[in-house]
Amino acid sequence: MITLEKIRQRAEADARTYGYYLNPDVDFLQSLLEGLKKNEERYGYPSCPCRLASGIFEFDRDIICPCDYRDLDVAEYGACYCGLYVRKDVFKGKTPLQPIPERRPLEKQLRAYAASSKTEIHKAEQSAAAPPKDEAKQPEMVKKLWYCKQCGYVVFREDPPYVCPICKAKREMFAEIKIQLSLVG
């Protein structure tokens, strides 16, 4: 079972690793953690408490907490989009928290909403017609092996991360690993 304590422990461990802090406003922090718990219970993964998830894992992947945009936002604005993770100067009240623009690409937002509404229609049709045979088929994204040309870090994703978590190289430093196979006759 998912407890609020486990949700908090995960967020704290994540903050410790990246040298971030959780939001110093105790009530606000509590509401964010409760949002994460609700999403984990509803979808099976803790998607961002301040964004609308589609409920389809592959389309929500980039907004599962910590979202793909967090590290860029904390570096640039001192906090992630939600305000869950903040930089030390913001935590200490030395830098005021400013509004953070949504960095999630519009096409990912649209893709998620489009898929989400189709799933809703699909589910509605199924429940009206016959008992559902299996789960609505989850879309499969084409994943690739990417590596950071600077430090060699390897990920298996649809697209490379915005920042290398190991050496902080920018996204442009990632390239695809291709497997070559030659049969010589």
Give the footprint of a copy of itself on this chain (CB under 8 A): 9-10, 12-20, 45, 57, 61, 64, 66, 71, 74-76, 87-88, 143, 145-147, 149-157, 161, 163, 165-170, 173, 177, 179, 181
**Judged by CB, which is closer to a copy of itself: 2, or 124?**
2
Asked whether the beta carbons of 163 and 74 are under 8 A apart, the reply is no
CB of 173 to a copy of itself, least distance (A): 8
Nearest alpha carbon to residue 19 among 90, 68, 114, 106: 90
**Tokens 């609700």 sit on residue:** 38
CB of 134 to a copy of itself, least distance (A): 19
Tokens of 142: 């084409």
CB of 5 to a copy of itself, least distance (A): 9
**Judged by CB, which is closer to a copy of itself: 129, or 179?**
179
**Judged by CB, which is closer to a copy of itself: 50, or 72?**
72
**Judged by CB, which is closer to a copy of itself: 28, or 147?**
147
Q: How many CA atoms lie within 13 A of 168 on its CB side?
A: 6
Query: How buried is residue 129: exposed, middle or buried, by Cβ count under 10 Å (0-12/13-18/19+)?
Result: exposed
Tokens of 55: 């409920």
